[in-house]
Amino acid sequence: MALVRQLYSGTDFRRALSIEELRAVARRRTPHFAFEYVECGSEDEVTLRHNRSVFESIRFIPDTLVDTSNRHQRTTLFGREMSTPLIIAPTALNGMQRYRGDIALARAAAAIGIPFTLSTFSNVRLEDVQTGAGGRLWMQLYLMKDRTIARDIIRRAAGAGYEALVLTSDANVFGFREWDRRNYRQPGDLTLRNILDVACHPRWILDVLFPHGVPRFENVVDFLPPEARSARAGVAYLPGLLAPDITWEDIRWLRTEWSGKLILKGVLNAADAKQAADLGCDGIVLSNHGGRQLDGSVSPMDVLPEIARAAGDRLAIIVDSGFRRGTDVIKAIALGAHAVMVGSATLYGLAAGGEAGVRHALGILSGEVDRVLGQLGCNSLRELGPHLLR
């Protein structure tokens, strides 16, 4: 009898050996519309696919016969140690994967000693993430037409001891994720087919919807008109609040308002990286928003070497979009990144197993990083470089 290769087909996240397998568990546990929200890219998903295929075009040339028995993957970012070069990326609506998903993600990050970034559009207030999880917290900021919302978030994040403010610059003209949109008759209003699919996920309903109902955009809810405060209405309302007129002037302004670390997320060229450094940013995230914004854009991996050359000595260079393996992380560090943000990988863990599932995801990735370091003949991240790649 010929045996067919197949991923684990159950719902126990602990059985997942890779992020791809964790994704399969997440898919089974989550209603289609909530899984698709994480999964899909914009328009034809060209960038989404390229974010993965770019890693296959980079190969390793390992050193052999090196004693790597004392290898480690610790690193420092902004003068503070991290157990592994990973950061959890800001993602909106984490409460649709698990009840108070933001706290689960932050707790898992704190447990292994890496930063967690909270989205402006989170389902838990930033103060509650601080009290519920602690650890090293970064606050992501979307600038809206009404800048008093940003002022409020900045003041509160400073009060709650957030280490960094991460301004996202690539989503103020909102990407159109057609596969996400197809699950709704109109924004916020699921199709009948999707409503029936939700009914087939009683465990998800019990965890996410009972007894509090659909999670709200807690960080900004006070600024929404009463009719837009529910998550259903908010989904349709919030993109219209984003300011399409953000410019470098806003970086100048934020630099005066925020005394912590300032990070610009959404940079994809060297001129912008230099400008960010000139205006006092402490770091940048090279990102195409996980393929969710401009379809057809380059992967951060395509431009990482030139940006690292241009600004790597003045800025922390963080990279995201498409990272699913330790090999991906190692390739980015070898090309000049200081750390890697993961969005979907830890969300699969969250959907599959809550906080323990996120820890499992981080364990898979850091286990792979450790193995790759050893197989390359390296004892630390410092020894990585382009000489190990082709």
Ligand X SMILES: Cc1cc2nc3c(=O)[nH]c(=O)nc-3n(C[C@H](O)[C@H](O)[C@H](O)COP(=O)(O)O)c2cc1C
Work out how close the CB of 383 gets to ligand X at its nearest, in angstroms, rounded to a whole number: 25
> What ranges in the chain are assigned the alpha helix state H?
19-29, 32-39, 46-56, 101-112, 126-133, 148-159, 178-181, 192-199, 202-204, 231-237, 248-257, 270-278, 300-311, 326-334, 344-376
Altogether, the residues listed in the chain come to a count of 390
User: How big is the site for ligand X, counted in residues (CB under 6 A)?
Assistant: 24
What is the 8-class DSSP label of residue 136? S
Contact yes or no for 100/116 (Cβ under 8 A): no
Known catalytic residues are 289
Q: How far apart are CA 332 and CA 340, in angstroms?
A: 8
Q: Please, how many CA atoms are within 13 Å of residue 46, restricted to the half-sphere of its CB?
A: 7
Interacting stretch for ligand X, rule CB under 6 A, among 5-13, 88-96, 254-262, 349-357? Answer: 88-96
Positions 301 through 320 that interact with ligand X (CB under 6 A): 320
Q: Which residue is nearest to ligand X (CB)?
A: 343
Site string for ligand X, 239-278 (x = CB under 6 A): --------------------------x-------------
Work out how close the CB of 141 gets to ligand X at its nearest, in angstroms, rounded to a whole number: 9
Nearer residue to ligand X within complex by CB, 173 or 196: 173
Q: For residue 162, which amino acid is it?
A: Y
Among 41, 115, 300, 343, binds ligand X (CB under 6 A): 343
Nearer residue to ligand X within complex by CB, 273 or 345: 345
Residue 91 touching ligand X (CB under 6 A): yes
Nearer residue to ligand X within complex by CB, 119 or 230: 119
Positions 148 through 187 that interact with ligand X (CB under 6 A): 168
Tokens of 361: 């995801």
Contact yes or no for 36/180 (Cβ under 8 A): yes
Q: How far apart are CA 180 and CA 156, in angstroms?
A: 32
Among 323, 326, 335, 368, binds ligand X (CB under 6 A): 323
Give contact residues for ligand X (rule: CB under 6 A).
37-38, 51, 89-92, 119, 121, 140, 168, 265, 287, 289-290, 292, 320-323, 342-345
